[in-house]
């Protein structure tokens, strides 16, 4: 029962339904985000990297050949993340153009050298989606 409640809580954080109105203080922002990402993800193919994947909320929405989650290597993430790969927070540990697409959702605001970070994303993938909280909107793409 506790596992089911935890799973429901996580779902309501990223794809809020009516229950989310009561348990998710970011209901409207998350609802809009989920709808935007849903449209984008449907068309993705190949190999996808989710940088700062957390609980991998977008994995179930994708129909890609390979979905890989990447997280900072620290004790918290080792114990609570669903990541496939951990890294030091600097150079992303993948080859040039190894991925067809990269997602970095609410990650860049935690990065010290965001120019280097974006160059790393461009190095490992020709296309990507960077989502960041701003007053004007929550996303930025590169191609």
Nearest one of 141, 106, 111 to 125, comparing CA atoms: 141
User: Under 8 Å CB-to-CB from 19, ≥6 apart: which residues?
Assistant: 8, 12
The HSE-up count of residue 12 (CA atoms within 13 Å, CB side) is 15
Give, for all 143 residues of the chain, the pLDDT tens digit: 888 877 777 777 777 787 777 777 777 777 777 777 788 788 889 999 999 998 888 888 888 999 999 999 999 888 877 899 999 988 999 999 999 999 888 888 888 898 999 899 999 999 887 766 654 455 555 55
The model carries a pTM of 0.78
């Amino acid at each position: 029962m506790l596992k089911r409640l935890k799973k429901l809580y996580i779902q309501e954080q990223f794809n809020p339904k009516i229950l989310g109105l009561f348990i998710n203080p970011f209901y409207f922002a998350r609802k809009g985000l989920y709808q935007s990402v849903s449209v984008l993800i449907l068309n993705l193919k190949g190999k996808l990297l989710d940088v700062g994947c957390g609980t991998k909320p977008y994995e179930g929405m994708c129909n890609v050949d390979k979905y890989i989650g990447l997280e900072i290597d620290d004790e918290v993430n080792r114990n609570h993340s669903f990541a496939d790969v951990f890294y030091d927070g600097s150079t992303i540990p993948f080859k040039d153009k190894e991925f067809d697409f990269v997602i970095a959702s609410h990650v860049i605001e935690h990065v010290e050298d965001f120019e280097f970070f974006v160059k790393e994303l461009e190095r490992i993938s020709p296309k990507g989606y960077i989502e960041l909280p701003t007053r004007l909107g929550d996303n930025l793409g590169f191609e």
